[in-house]
Structure 1
Amino acid sequence: MDAPRRAAAWLGALVALTAAACGGSPPPAVSDTSTAESRPAVIKPEVLAEMPHDATAWTQGLEFDGPTLYEGTGIAGKSQIRELDPATGAVRRSAPTPNDYYGEGITVVDDRIWELTWRDGVAVEWDKNTLTPVREVPVDGEGWGLCRDDDRLIRSDGTDRLRFHDPATFAETGSVTVTRDGQPLTELNELECVDGQVWANVWKTDMLVRIDPATGKVNTVVDATGLWPGQGGSRERVLNGIAHIDGDEYLLTGKYWPAMYRVRLQPPA
């Protein structure tokens, strides 16, 4: 979801810029049937600044609503919806996900927040102002990532599909298969909808992808290897969390990461 420009300007004055220190790793091999024209561009994030993040947070969703930063965290019995101070990473408000659900991706819809659950078969609708659950609606399949694309929601479920939902009822309205170089791409995790495109973390990798939801094709790959140097190849402390600030600037973090990074992602024209 797009964030107003004031969020970008405000964040930009918070901390000193840091140089990007991202190591390179080759992208996955492409199939012999793909053409050079069909292969997505591979880019690196340009690190602009670093801010603190709660290192106990199993981050599932990250999203700006104006200057306010919301985070959804996971683990059954420990999941929360949180409002964060983006300057310090401090938790301003928090509320536990009901019924010990395993919370997943979140997205803001006007005065509500939708939260997915992993395998509990429901999505939880929250009152954004009071951080109280309003209702639960049934969802088929697993819940992973969630974002708002104008008049619809887009959900990932761990498969190679993005599923579309009505933002008022959460009824499923369609889906699309995601492919990279003509091959299905699975384990799409946290999502961020920006200007008609969908950014997605790929679970247990240092890779983000940008997807055209009209076709399901990946058109850009972000190699974020080494974004947080302390990750050290951990299978748990992985990249997961994308919040659009403005233009080509984003806030990225990961599960149990002690830092959030303001970065510039510049896909080719």
Structure 2
Amino acid sequence: MRRSLTILMGLALGLAAEATPVQYTVEIAARYPHDPGAYTQGLIWHDGHLLESTGRYGESTLRRITLENGEVEHSVSLDRDRFGEGLARVGDRLIQLTWKAGRGLIYNADTLERVGRFDYAGEGWGLTYDGEHLIMSDGSDELQRLDPDSFEVKSRLSVHVDGQPIRRLNELEMVDDQIWANVYGTDLIARIDPASGAVVGTINAALLREQLPAGYQVDVFNGIAHDPATDRLFVTGKYWPRLFEIRVVPSAGASDK
């Protein structure tokens, strides 16, 4: 695990000259308030609002948020023995994972009313939807593709850089036909080819921490939401008091291929 994280960190910081993934950094397009009490696990954009899954036992929620002021418009609490994790939308349904319970929760995307549940093996971390399958991470280097109706595992994808596995893949988001993944414990996003599992780019978002106000006990970088209609990107972190709209640009000396 330490070796794989070191490899990815090296790519993002320009320490591995022989590596093929394109290196990126971020520019801040806008700043918005974010609930500093939210342990952000999953983040998506839907119908003009952010939807967020938060974690911690006894504190986990699914919530709808107004972007401009960070106001929580509606919130649904999970049972106290459920630890909220990744979130994805499939049509008129929201699918939320839980960490160690092996239980997925299904909601009406408009009302946030819980309408079903399903079981899965192993831990639940991140979740996204590519238009055909749910894509799920479990903290390893492997992503699972699930049928969005039966939740059966259809295939698995090993994520790697130069043949080395990249583990601790967390929050997931489909962006321009790539799988973007927060790498837990770092300020990095891996851009993953969904066909091969190869990391084709790394985004270093470390400068966002410098823009967080003092006096907050922030945790790790986590949360990626993409609005395909406007191509806007939103990111935040666990217990972060800010949510950022960002632009992704090649790092100095890197070419955007």
Superposition TM-score tier, normalisation by shorter sequence? 0.7 to 0.9
Is 2:218–2:240's contact at 8 Å kept on the other side of the alignment?
A: no
Superposition pairs of residues 238-257 of structure 1, within 5 angstroms: 238-246=220-228, 249-257=232-240
What's 1:263 paired with?
246
Aligned alpha-carbon RMSD (Å): 2.2
What's 1:227 paired with?
208
What's 1:22 paired with?
none
Is 1:249–1:265's contact at 8 Å kept on the other side of the alignment?
A: no
Where 1:228 maps in the other structure, the secondary structure is: helix
Rounded Cα–Cα distance in structure 1 between residues aligned with 2:180 and 2:23? 14
Name segments (4+ residues, structure 1) moved above 4 Å: none
Rounded Cα–Cα distance in structure 2 between residues aligned with 1:64 and 1:159? 26
What's 1:12 paired with?
none
What's 1:184 paired with?
165
The one-letter amino acid paired with 1:64 is: W
What's 1:237 paired with?
219
Which of 1, 22, 26 is the matching residue for 1:41?
22
Provide Cα deviations, 1:102-137, integer angstroms capped at 9, x if missing partner. 110001111110000100011111122221221221
Deviation at 1:195, TM superposition (A): 2.6
Deviation at 1:29, TM superposition (A): 4.0
Deviation at 1:35, TM superposition (A): 8.4
Rounded Cα–Cα distance in structure 1 between residues aligned with 2:10 and 2:186? 15
The one-letter amino acid paired with 1:136 is: R
Identical columns (%): 40
Superposition pairs of residues 161-172 of structure 1, within 5 angstroms: 161-172=142-153
Where 1:120 maps in the other structure, the secondary structure is: coil
Length-normalised TM-score, structure 1: 0.83
Superposition pairs of residues 62-141 of structure 1, within 5 angstroms: 62-98=43-79, 100-141=81-122
Rounded Cα–Cα distance in structure 1 between residues aligned with 2:36 and 2:80? 24
The one-letter amino acid paired with 2:248 is: L
What's 2:154 paired with?
173
Is 2:9–2:188's contact at 8 Å kept on the other side of the alignment?
A: no
Rounded Cα–Cα distance in structure 2 between residues aligned with 1:116 and 1:219? 27
- Is 1:159 aligned to residue 112 of structure 2? no
Is 1:141–1:157's contact at 8 Å kept on the other side of the alignment?
A: yes
Q: 1:183 to 1:236 in 2, by over 3 A?
A: farther
Deviation at 1:99, TM superposition (A): 5.5
Superposition pairs of residues 209-224 of structure 1, within 5 angstroms: 209-224=190-205
Rounded Cα–Cα distance in structure 2 between residues aligned with 1:107 and 1:179? 24
Which of 55, 59, 70 is the matching residue for 2:36?
55
Deviation at 1:245, TM superposition (A): 2.4
What's 2:253 paired with?
none
Deviation at 1:266, TM superposition (A): 4.0
Q: Which runs of 5+ in 1 are unaligned?
A: 1-25
Length-normalised TM-score, structure 2: 0.87
Rounded Cα–Cα distance in structure 1 between residues aligned with 2:17 and 2:10? 13
What's 2:181 paired with?
200
